[in-house]
A = this chain, B = another copy of it.
Amino acid sequence: MVPRVSETRRGERRPSGNGVPIRILVTGGTFDKEYDELTGRLFFRDTHVQEMLRLGRARLELALETVMMIDSLEMDDAARAAVVERCRGAAERAIVVTHGTDTMVETARALAAAALSDRTIVLTGAMVPYAFGSSDGLFNLGSALSFVQVLPPGVYVAMNGKIFTWDNVTKNRAAGVFQAL
């Protein structure tokens, strides 16, 4: 069950649209894959997140940072450590990490192990490249940027409109969806 904030603490203002500063860390993944018309293969160039934010008319206080541009199957310990370090070094307490779906859960686990206790970190991705026109990426980006503003510190995965804690999520590869354990 998703917890509701049943009451706000005395004297605390409720959501007001003033927003919280958010950092988006881009690591690549299906989200950002493109089609190379010369080779017929998928590849990475620049991230599409900026364009997606523009399309979504996002008016958030955002810092966008590309950490790497890789398929999440190539995400090894060193790469994961780099993501952890960027989160640790971020000035913002709210962080969204765009990530390939295949090993998103493993990176969530590495972030949880790093015990960045005062931060809310939400990982998200896409099943279809944004550039291919029928992507879940825009929906997921809207979802992750929303959850990260209101959830308590912790590490989460936002996929399929749902929010999962890092320790209660798995990718069902056969169905292409994320689900609780």
Interface residues of A (CB under 8 A from B): 1-9, 12-20, 30, 33, 35, 37-38, 40, 42, 52-53, 55-60, 71, 120, 127-129, 131-136, 138-147, 149-154, 156, 158-165, 168-169, 173-174, 176-180
Contact of A168 among B4, B17, B33, B158 (CB under 8 A): B17
Alpha-carbon distance A149/B4, docked complex (angstroms)? 7
Please give the count of copies of this chain that the complex contains.
Answer: 4
Please tell me if the beta carbons of B2 and A20 are within 8 angstroms of each other in the complex. Answer: yes
Which B residues are in CB contact (< 8 Å) with A161?
A: 53, 56-60, 142, 145-146
Q: Is the interface of A mostly helix, strand, loop or mixed?
A: loop
| Distance of A179 Cα from B37 Cα, bound (Å) | 17
Q: Are B128 and A35 in contact (CB under 8 A)?
A: yes
B18 near A176 with CB under 8 A, answer no
B19 A162 Cβ-Cβ under 8 A: yes
Question: With a CB–CB cut-off of 8 A, which chain B residues contact A20?
Answer: 1-2
Chain B nearest CB, measured from A118 CB (Å): 10
Q: Are A180 and B142 in contact (CB under 8 A)?
A: no
| A60 contacts across to B, CB distance below 8 A | 160-162
